Amino acid sequence: MASRKMLANAIRALAMDAVQKANSGHPGAPMGMADIAEVLYNDFMRHNPTNPEWSDRDRFVMSNGHGSMLPYSVLHLSGYDVTIDDLKNFRQLHSKTPGHPEHGYAPGIETTTGPLGQGISNAVGMAIAERVLAAQFNQDGFNIVDHFTYVFLGDGCLMEGISHEACSLAGTLELGKLIAFWDDNGISIDGKVEGWFRDDTPARFKAYGWHVMEVDGHDPDEIKIAIEAARAISAKPSLICCKTIIGYGSPNKAGSHTSHGAPLGEEEVALARIELDWEPASFEIPEELYQGWDHKKAGQVQEDDWNQKFSAYAEVHPELAAEFKRRMSGDLPQDWNEAAQAFITETDEAAAEKATRVSSLATLEAFSPLLPELFGGSADLGGSNGTEWSGFKPMRAEMHDANYINYGVREFGMSAMMNGIVLHGGFIPFGATFLVFSDYARNALRMAALMKIQSVFVFTHDSIGLGEDGPTHQAVEQIPTLRMIPNMQLWRPCDAVETAVSWKAAIERRDGPSCLVFSRQNLKHQQRSVEQIEAISRGGYVLRDCDGPPDAIIIATGSEVALAMAASEAEALEEVNIRVVSMPSTTQFDRQTREYRESVLPPGVRARLVVEAAVSGGWYKYVGLDGSVIGMDTFGESAPAKELFAYFGFTVDKVVEAVKNLLKPD
């Protein structure tokens, strides 16, 4: 029987070899954390390599994602569809083993990590999802949701402020199924961290309300005892502080930043093999070690046991079982589309004039009873954001059956935790803050788009319409830059009807995140035909047309649509054929067929004007060099909203003037 040390050395050898072959990568962390991984996977992890999507599997997150050869090695050794050739292709184009763990590339990779601190935050989200799902579906004698979330993290993760945001909340919520392992090696890419990181990390996490232990990260017995203790404590998340040596086994580079982010070198790899008593050639693993690591049979037994439990559960609780399967598959309820469309029709008939943040709340009131998977939250602005609907149940340490989280002032942490909730499965999370504070959360939004997951980011107070709070709170550049994130879909609706449609689109979108951007101020209802209402979902449509070909087209979004409509009806333009296009989502409009896009924006009409209270640059792809944009290319001021719109040129007169200038002969 293979020793624990040799089982761990298999990770070290594969990490050294793969990084060396790629001539790029980070061997230090995998070599330093190999003993921890060996104990965790071989003694505790419940997972099935032949079915990586089993719903009640334990989740593993490598938050220090530069150490990606650790999870890749473990996945290969334990029996996942990650071959030795995949490891040889480490960091190569279109491989299953990119430089950092990427969700959707290799089976068993639960989330994309690399930007430090987000993995631990994703893990907090996963633990939240596990707890709430358990409260919603477990019944006496049937714990069908009962698994742990394990996360590896390093000094860099702890230095990033997002780790404080997420870990503080994890302690407050008493997430006992979350167990983190800190790779306490005292080294980052610049050298010994004592020059810039002297936090008393155990004390910090104890202050959060975590259970904290300190162990020798190379002693399997200590590691095992610590994990057993952590699993036994249900009311606190656990941090196991593992004192390790980065690059363990490298005679000349262990304990040094030289093993952090570069290959060891052929000579040093050869010396490390001697130091580790590792005789096999490069990328060769003895059969005895494969047998020691293989989890396919044990994993199938674990899943079969759960399947038997679930079958018995389904006999006693058939409706709950069916709902659980629907939720975990991500399917929407059968009556969803009909009910959602009915609400959109009712909203149109009501013709209410109100802020789109208020319209968003009304939409949540209508949609939440249809969708128990909706899981809301706000970064301490629930009342302002309009996210606290009448049926919301905020999560607390003692309140597990919840559908909402008070995230506190943690925009970045909120967004990353939402991503973890999505990745766990069973929920459609949304989280809200003011649009200007999307900047705090930006990298988590980017990660959601990169992973193509269904996080819904709600941003209110969308422009200078915020008013008196002034330029620190007035979003100017955020809308255009959010549109620029690949695979991000942004909606800025002009009234209650477009708001309801935008929510429906975000709920139905399975291949990426959405940003829903809402106003503080009241917006006028726009009259539409049935066909126009149907066209909203295409991202851009003709809201007001003219007799015959248009002389000019005014394109607008959000609060500026009403302004565009008023200008189109102005006496000064009564002899001009004006078309008004509402474009609540440029990103969705761009996905339409060329035929449809040209039916809305005929190529022959070059007199085009955009009106949007945001930075103007991105709109020239729609108006061309002959067109014009009325936008915000400065920061705002502190004053009532109406005064600000007038001061910055968002008036009927200015729009009329701009149209006339476009129509002047050359």
For the annotated catalytic residues, the residue numbers are 411
Q: How far is CA 169 from the centre of its chain?
A: 17
Phi, psi at residue 66, to the nearest 5°? -60, -25
- Closest by CA to 36, choosing from 181, 150, 149, 158, is 181
Phi, psi at residue 355, to the nearest 5°? -65, 145
- Closest by CA to 125, choosing from 490, 505, 444, is 444
Classified as helix, coil or strand, 335 is coil
- In what helix (H) or strand (E) does residue 554 lie, and over which residues does it extend? strand 552-556
- In what helix (H) or strand (E) does residue 191 lie, and over which residues does it extend? strand 191-192
Q: Which residues contact 531 (CB under 8 A, 6 or more apart)?
A: none
The answer to whether the beta carbons of residues 510 and 425 sit under 8 Å apart is no
How many Cα atoms within 13 Å fall on the side-chain side of residue 531? 3
Could you tell me whether strands 374-378 and 428-434 are parallel, antiparallel, or unpaired per DSSP bridges?
parallel
Classified as helix, coil or strand, 235 is coil
Could you tell me whether strands 191-192 and 187-188 are parallel, antiparallel, or unpaired per DSSP bridges?
antiparallel
Buried b (16+ CB within 10 A) or exposed e, 550-585: bbbbbbbbbbbbbbbbebbeeeebeebbbbbbbbbb
Cα 563 from Cα 611, distance rounded (Å): 8
Cα 63 from Cα 29, distance rounded (Å): 11
Alpha helices in 351-410 (DSSP H): 356-367, 382-385
Cα 151 from Cα 59, distance rounded (Å): 8
Cα 443 from Cα 450, distance rounded (Å): 10
Cα 490 from Cα 574, distance rounded (Å): 33
The answer to whether the beta carbons of residues 404 and 421 sit under 8 Å apart is no
Q: How far is CA 231 from the centre of its chain?
A: 27
91: left (phi over 0), alpha (psi -120 to 50) or beta: left
What distances in angstroms separate CA 577 from CA 394, 595, 628, one per listed residue? 52, 22, 17
Cα 140 from Cα 153, distance rounded (Å): 36
Cα 549 from Cα 569, distance rounded (Å): 17
The count of residues in the chain is 666
- DSSP category for residue 333: P
Cα 348 from Cα 536, distance rounded (Å): 12
The answer to whether the beta carbons of residues 174 and 235 sit under 8 Å apart is yes
